């Protein structure tokens, strides 16, 4: 006969924290057992208690987004302990500035073309 003691496997958070995963576990919906690294990362960078506090502070429909952004930040911080995802922000900010400069220059060229004033090479 099948055993009657079957229970769902604990979520990745409760497994990592070695505690019983209760039906109202705040982590369970966002840290499934098949993705253990996701919790390990946020636990290492933010701490389980801070993650739990943050989840309780945001409304239930925003918790999945909150967990995903925490997981993204944690992974970035583990890959780059000095800059974390702030490094990505700096790269993107430089990219925006470069593109904006290029676009301004190209728009200035268009105006020259429109007035039939082709850009001249610099005079010696």
Rounded Cα distance between 10 and 23, Å, is 10
For position 58 contacting a copy of itself by CB under 8 A, the verdict is: yes
Of 10-18, 19-27, 31-39, 104-112, which part binds a copy of itself (CB under 8 A)?
104-112
Specify the residue, 38 or 77, whose C-beta has the smaller distance to a copy of itself: 77
Rounded Cα distance between 88 and 73, Å, is 10
Tokens 């952004």, residue located: 69
Residue 120 Ramachandran class (φ > 0 left, ψ -120 to 50 alpha, else beta)? beta
Specify the residue, 21 or 51, whose C-beta has the smaller distance to a copy of itself: 51
Contact 76, 84 (CB under 8 A): yes
For position 117 contacting a copy of itself by CB under 8 A, the verdict is: no
Q: Which of 9, 19, 35, 69 binds a copy of itself (CB under 8 A)?
A: 69
Q: Which of residues 18-47 bind a copy of itself (CB under 8 A)?
A: 44-47
Rounded Cα distance between 106 and 5, Å, is 71
Rounded Cα distance between 94 and 73, Å, is 20
Binding residues for a copy of itself, rule: CB under 8 A, are 44-47, 49-50, 54, 57-58, 62, 65-66, 69-70, 72-73, 77, 81-89, 92-93, 95-96, 99-100, 102-103, 106-107, 109-110, 113-114
């Amino acid at each position: 006969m099948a055993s009657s003691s079957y229970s769902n496997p604990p979520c990745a958070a409760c497994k990592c924290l070695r505690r019983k995963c209760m039906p109202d576990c705040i982590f369970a919906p966002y840290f499934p057992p098949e993705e253990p690294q996701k919790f390990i990362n946020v636990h290492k960078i933010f701490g389980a208690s801070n993650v739990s506090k943050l989840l309780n502070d945001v409304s239930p429909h925003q918790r999945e987004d909150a967990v995903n952004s925490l997981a993204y930040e944690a992974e970035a911080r583990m890959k780059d302990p000095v800059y974390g995802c702030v490094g990505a922000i700096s790269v993107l900010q430089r990219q925006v500035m470069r593109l904006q400069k290029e676009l301004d220059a190209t728009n200035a060229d268009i105006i020259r073309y429109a007035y039939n004033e082709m850009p001249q090479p610099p005079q010696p």
